[in-house]
Amino acid sequence: MNTVGVRELKNRLTHYLARAKRGEDVVVTERGRPVAVLRPIHCTDQPQSLEAQLARLAAQGLVVLPTRKPLKRVRRVKIDGPPLSKAILEDRR
């Protein structure tokens, strides 16, 4: 995801300008809320990236962006014995 906070954008502006020159959209956030989209000038008529579209909808108040990081991959647990559904059916009798 090409999202950057205002402080990091200020500190590494050249890096994010280079990304915009390559055609990437960079969503600028202030305190976790999207406030701007940095994109190359020749791409103004082209469709926006998903992140840019979500940022625009969040700025309009139509959606709420997640504040937590996504969950890490969960490892499945294998259990020996009869299936849980069978135990539930027996318990209901």
Q: In the prediction, which pLDDT does 47 show?
A: 59
- pTM for the complete prediction? 0.52
Q: Which helix (H) or strand (E) segment is 34 a member of?
A: strand 33-38
Q: Is 24 inside any structural domain?
A: yes
Q: In the prediction, which pLDDT does 32 show?
A: 83
Q: Is 69 inside any structural domain?
A: no
Q: In the prediction, which pLDDT does 82 show?
A: 82
pLDDT digits (tens, 9 = 90+) for 23-43: 888 889 898 888 888 887 666
Number of domain units in the chain = 1
CATH number at residue 7: 3.40.1620
CA atoms of 49 and 66, how far apart (whole Å): 18
In the chain, which residues have pLDDT < 70? 1, 41-48
